[in-house]
């Protein structure tokens, strides 16, 4: 089966934008999740921590990822790390099995000379600037531990804790 690519017209975009319930969107809840990307001895990648603003929805098993920053010791902060995260996800190197707690992320970043609060502030400020309102932030993602443990079990990795 072949798909025919649709070219979006101005009318298509206008129709899409008219169907967005902007007031309902202001009530959406978000959480920050932290992914530790381990050192790779073959590609000589250094340990990285990805901080991801995720839309937490009741009707989805996984969160919808959005803005991402990445911290490494050598390079510091990469403020627009969405594509870097997507590339690491494509090969299965960065997924739910890499989820770590905020405290683990803070400690790892501290060893790199980076402050977690700086990245958190950047993500929230960036969202606010783009959307015109601040995100409704959950203190923690209510499903992060279950997501991490289920993926580690599926991959046959030892459980954390």
Counted domains in the chain: 1
* Pair type for strands 76-78 and 99-100: unpaired
What average pLDDT does the segment 85-97 reach? 88
Residue 41 has pLDDT above 80, yes or no: no
What is the domain range of residue 134? 25-155
In a domain, 18, yes or no: no
In a domain, 137, yes or no: yes
Q: Residue 16 — pLDDT band, cuts 50, 70, 90?
A: confident
Predicted confidence at residue 5, as pLDDT, reads 64
14 or 115, higher pLDDT: 115
Whose CA is closest to 124, among 54, 58, 57? 54
Predicted confidence at residue 42, as pLDDT, reads 61
């Amino acid at each position: 089966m072949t798909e025919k690519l649709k070219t979006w017209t101005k009318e298509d975009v206008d129709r899409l934008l008219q169907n967005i319930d902007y007031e309902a969107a202001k009530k959406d809840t978000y959480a920050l999740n932290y992914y530790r990307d381990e050192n790779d001895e073959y590609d000589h990648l250094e340990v990285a921590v990805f901080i991801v603003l995720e839309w937490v929805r009741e009707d989805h098993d996984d969160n919808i990822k959005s803005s991402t920053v990445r911290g490494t010791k050598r390079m510091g902060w990469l403020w627009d790390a969405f594509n870097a995260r997507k590339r690491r996800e494509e090969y299965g190197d960065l997924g739910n099995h890499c989820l770590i707690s905020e405290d683990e992320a803070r400690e790892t970043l501290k060893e790199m000379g980076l402050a977690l609060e700086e990245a958190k502030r950047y993500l929230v400020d960036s969202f606010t600037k783009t959307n015109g309102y601040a995100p409704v932030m959950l203190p923690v993602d209510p499903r992060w531990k279950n997501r991490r443990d289920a993926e580690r079990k599926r991959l046959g990795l030892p459980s954390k804790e």
